[in-house]
């Protein structure tokens, strides 16, 4: 909606609803990572200010409040549901050392059904884990912002192919728009 080409094509269109998926990006990342999300408020005005449905599965109450401010929504109904799902398991394990953590990850990956995604806090951790798991014979890919665009596209493309039993190691640069129905663990 911020591109001149798109704006030309939709000039005069008056939608009855504007839906914003991953709306937490308006607050969480919009200011730096995805500035186009911040521009949605102005785009809504250009479209005649239709009602806005902002959807997110990850916003804290503070982020949800900021989304409303950023989108210029003064009064609204907010619907919150628990993220509890009986078929999902969440677990935290503490480790004394990085080596111990890597061993545990390797053991878990061997037991878990694939494909799966492992998010790491840093590019270095992605790369270190990539080397360690490849040495252990585990089919892994990686994805992070220091890779070239072609490398990221190749890695994501391989991961997304149906039936591939790979593990994607990634920073949070991976995930927006990824819809792979057979992912077995994150």
List the one residue out of 41, 44, 45 whose CA is nearest residue 26: 41
**Is the model's pLDDT at 20 over the cut of 70?**
yes
Residues 6+ apart with CB under 8 A from 186: 116, 117, 118, 119
- What's the whole-model pTM score? 0.59
* Residue 185: DSSP 8-state: B
Task: Give tens-digit pLDDT for 130-172.
Answer: 998 999 899 999 999 899 999 999 999 999 998 888 999 999 8
Contact of 15 with 47, CB cutoff 8 Å: yes
Q: Which two tokens stand for residue 73?
A: 């929504």
- Using left for φ > 0, alpha for ψ between -120 and 50, and beta otherwise, residue 55 falls in beta
- pLDDT category of residue 105 using cuts at 50, 70 and 90: confident
Identify the band that residue 33 occupies on the pLDDT scale cut at 50, 70 and 90: low
The pair of structure tokens assigned to 161 is 């192919």
Range in 115-119, 168-172, 176-180 with the lowest mean pLDDT: 176-180
């Amino acid at each position: 909606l911020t591109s001149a080409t798109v704006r030309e094509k939709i000039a005069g269109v008056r939608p009855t609803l504007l839906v914003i998926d991953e709306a937490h990006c308006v607050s969480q990342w919009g200011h730096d990572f995805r500035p186009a999300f911040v521009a949605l408020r102005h785009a809504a005005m250009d479209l005649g200010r239709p009602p806005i449905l902002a959807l997110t599965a990850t916003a804290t109450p503070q982020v949800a409040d900021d989304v409303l401010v950023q989108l210029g929504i003064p009064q609204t109904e907010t619907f919150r549901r628990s993220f509890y799902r009986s078929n999902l398991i969440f677990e935290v394990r503490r480790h004394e050392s990085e080596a111990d953590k890597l061993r545990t990850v390797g053991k878990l990956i061997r037991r878990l059904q694939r494909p799966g995604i492992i998010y790491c806090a840093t590019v270095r951790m992605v790369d270190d884990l990539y080397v360690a798991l490849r040495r252990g014979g585990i089919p892994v890919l990686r994805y992070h912002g220091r890779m070239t665009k072609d490398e990221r596209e190749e890695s994501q493309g391989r991961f997304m192919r149906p039936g591939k039993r790979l593990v994607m190691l990634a920073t949070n640069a991976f995930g927006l728009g990824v819809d792979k129905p057979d992912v077995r663990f994150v």
